[in-house]
Structure 1
Amino acid sequence: MGEASFSLKKIAIPAYGPSVLFGLGNGAILPVIALSARDLGASPALAGLIVALIGLGSLATNIPAALVTARFGERKALTGASTVMVAALLLCIFARSEALLAVSTLLIGTATSVFYLARQTYLIEAVPFAMRARALSTLGGTHRIGMFFGPFAGAALMHFLGLAGAYWVGIAALTGAGLLSWSIPDLHAGPKDETQVNAAKPRMAAIARTHASVFLTLGVGILLISAMRAGRQVVIPLWADHIGLSPAATSIIFGLTSAVDMLVFYPAGKIMDQYGRLWVALPCALIMGLALLSIPLTGVLITFLTVSMLMGLGNGFGSGINMTLGADASPSHGRTEFLGLWRLISDVGTSAGPVILSGITALVSLGAGIALIGSFGFVAAAIFWRSLPHGR
């Protein structure tokens, strides 16, 4: 399939529609999970740890997610993930202890892993290489579109229902994602080579050994980026609370940050396709690192909002970089196993970021924890500079 004969519009609804709604649900709830934990009596450090369980749930489910999708098909996997997410959000609403809230965040991570692995695998197979980065950055971008609208919808309903309002927005969006996923046929990539169909599936250990150099270089860079991305989801509400902002104001800041994030995903994909992956990976790492290092220097609304939006710019510029680098490195035979391991590495970072932030906050201060997470950006930038081609 050539670039000239392929259009992303042909797969827009089945590939991207459920992702927009899934992102909307996430956007509504992410700003308030830490605040829900605080309302239940959790300390800032414990609140950060509860949010970190989203990453842990995803981490533990990457390999099973690949098996579930292969066994039951994409449509059932997406519908099941949406259903689990709705159940998790209901549990968030009715949780009366930190333990129940923690269980719900684990379920959120599990559902997210299944959902996005199903989307990514199809696009890698269905889209020609010359448009791969744009397709995958658009997948990330559709999630960001939802993340933009979600906090505003959550903030509006919170005026009437308190923190529960954000979760009800999420439930409505995830129900829509599940219904849309169920109503569309399974997407099927083009036919595979007969020798690949008949060949035995490689074991995870063999994939890990064969591609160890990639996992230990680019994989580490992606791990650090993931740690910063997960950390910022905790940093924004906790620092807002630290400087005395209301929950509604926090959601609006989260939404404005997501707006900047959302605006640059397609240009980022086009830059990757035309000039090479480095010229997106490098600015993403450096901008996010600089923004996180600047957060502890803010003390009023305007400076905090400005730095948060800068962080959104860096994150949005890296839209799809994780999936694109994984797709580029994955073998045609054993791709699902490779991507399962790649997501495992990424989710180690997603889990570790908030955990590290929580630990340093408990031992030193919230500002010190944020600064440490920010330093990861400069380490990731050095890895990308050494490991990625400097041209297309």
Structure 2
Amino acid sequence: MVSEQAYATTEPVRLRSLIWTVFVPVVLYGIGSGAAAPMYALRALDLGASAGVAGIVIALNGLGMVLADLPAGRIVARIGERWAIALGSGLGLVGVLCAIFAPHAGVLAVGMLLNGTASAVWGLARQSYIVAVVPRAGRGRAFSTLAGASRLGSFCGPFIGAGLVYAMGPSGALWLQFTTTVLSGAAMLAIRSADDGDADSSDHTLRSVVVENRRVLGTLGSAALLMGGARAARTALLPLWAAHIGISAAATSLIFGISGAVDVLLSYPGGILLDRYGSRATGVPSMLLFAAGFATLPLTSSSLELAGAAVLLGLANGVSNGIIMTVGADVAPPGQRAEFLGAWRLTHDIGMFAGPIAVGLISAATVLGASALALAAAASAGAIAMHRWFPSAHRAPLTASHLPDMD
């Protein structure tokens, strides 16, 4: 991977030059994942899983990301972003096929693990590539555009997938994800190679990178973890609650689409807030919105009421546009960038794994509504963590010396 210093000696990359090689493929990837996300829970129910087991199966997507984040950093450092994308796409295709043809929930669980692994490699590669080719002054817009592209795809996905779900059941959306994964992976293979210049990377082990940056990962990373939990739990809990109150799969897909529309509309304003006022002013309100959305969910009993709660959660996701990627990019040490970003993503993805697990375990032990209330409390804790540790202006370089003590 080419170092940031190496790119500084060449003409800066314009965002428009990344449209076809980065942003459009991300839209395609988002279309497939957005259409399929609520259908995995329904697929688990179709295979005979209970609501609690379905939540745990969906959480394995997060476990796959957690297990792959650190190795993904080393993979990107070794083979570069371009070939890491190819590897991630291949793993994702196998995962989707496992889910489509699963004879029981166990095979679906394997598919979810592979999907999570693919997401980790894909996400790390594209984030590392943006950090490498876009100067610091343009990263806010770049990550805002990247997140907006993903959310645009996620917004379109449920609407596109609704017709396929109506005709084919939940597997219709999974076939859409298979197709978009092929197209997006092929498109991103055209990115400029960035795999031959980060000489310092091989001097650091994954363990040493984590140890050297443990203070940053323990403070800012705790807030990233709680945000990841809120984001992933939203995807797991909404379709389970929809099924609980008797809403059809097609209607659930449309509700996800409405939530995604709000998400997309808030993406660019969220990026402006991030640029102007910093990650603290953006992160705290987003976590409070997550808390409000989860707290409202147990009060819903109809499609319209559920759509209202979904809109609150969409607002939360939109306001937080690009925040985790931008903070991680600003903190990343130049000579250890790919490995550090893998560790940084790990903090967020542990939350992505824990959120649906919490939904499954709490639902199995009590009732589904209790999961929503627990998630509201966790999101409130995330707001407190971001207020304490996230900077008020992310454009200034961040180091461990700038952080308050964890005590």
Q: Secondary structure at the match of 1:87?
A: helix
Which residue is equivalent to 2:363? 361
Contact persistence 1:55–1:350 (CA under 8 A): yes
Q: 1:186 aligns with which of 192, 210, 221?
A: 192
Change (3 A) 1:84 1:204: closer
- Matched to 2:315, the amino acid is L
TM-score by length of 2: 0.90
Contact persistence 1:135–1:269 (CA under 8 A): no
Instruction: Please tell me the root mean square deviation across aligned C-alpha atoms, in Å.
Output: 2.0
Which residue is equivalent to 2:79? 72
Query: 1:213-292 to 2 correspondence within 5 Å?
Result: 213-292=215-294
Q: How many residues align?
A: 386
Which residue is equivalent to 1:60? 67
1:373 aligns with 2:375: yes
Which residue is equivalent to 2:142? 135
1:90 aligns with 2:92: no
Query: 1:160-171 to 2 correspondence within 5 Å?
Result: 160-171=167-178
Query: 1:260-339 to 2 correspondence within 5 Å?
Result: 260-339=262-341
Q: Secondary structure at the match of 1:334?
A: helix
Contact persistence 1:34–1:47 (CA under 8 A): yes
Contact persistence 1:122–1:187 (CA under 8 A): no
Contact persistence 1:38–1:47 (CA under 8 A): yes
- Superposed CA offset, 1:227-260 (max 9, x none): 0101000111001011110000000101111111
Change (3 A) 1:227 1:199: closer
Q: Secondary structure at the match of 1:96?
A: coil
Structure 2 CA distance, aligned partners of 1:5 and 1:347?
31
Contact persistence 1:132–1:273 (CA under 8 A): no
Contact persistence 1:79–1:177 (CA under 8 A): no
Unpaired runs of 5+ residues, structure 2, are: 1-7, 395-407
Structure 2 CA distance, aligned partners of 1:227 and 1:112?
16
Structure 2 CA distance, aligned partners of 1:80 and 1:198?
24
Unpaired runs of 5+ residues, structure 1, are: none
Q: Secondary structure at the match of 1:133?
A: helix
Structure 1 CA distance, aligned partners of 2:393 and 2:236?
35
Contact persistence 2:76–2:338 (CA under 8 A): no
Structure 2 CA distance, aligned partners of 1:137 and 1:199?
27
Contact persistence 2:221–2:348 (CA under 8 A): yes
Q: Which moved more, 1:205-214 or 1:256-265?
A: 205-214
Which residue is equivalent to 1:113? 120
Structure 1 CA distance, aligned partners of 2:176 and 2:22?
22
Contact persistence 2:22–2:188 (CA under 8 A): no
TM-score by length of 1: 0.93
- Matched to 2:18, the amino acid is I
Q: 1:28 aligns with which of 35, 43, 60?
A: 35
- Superposed CA offset, 1:5-34 (max 9, x none): 763112222121221111111011111101
Structure 2 CA distance, aligned partners of 1:6 and 1:81?
25
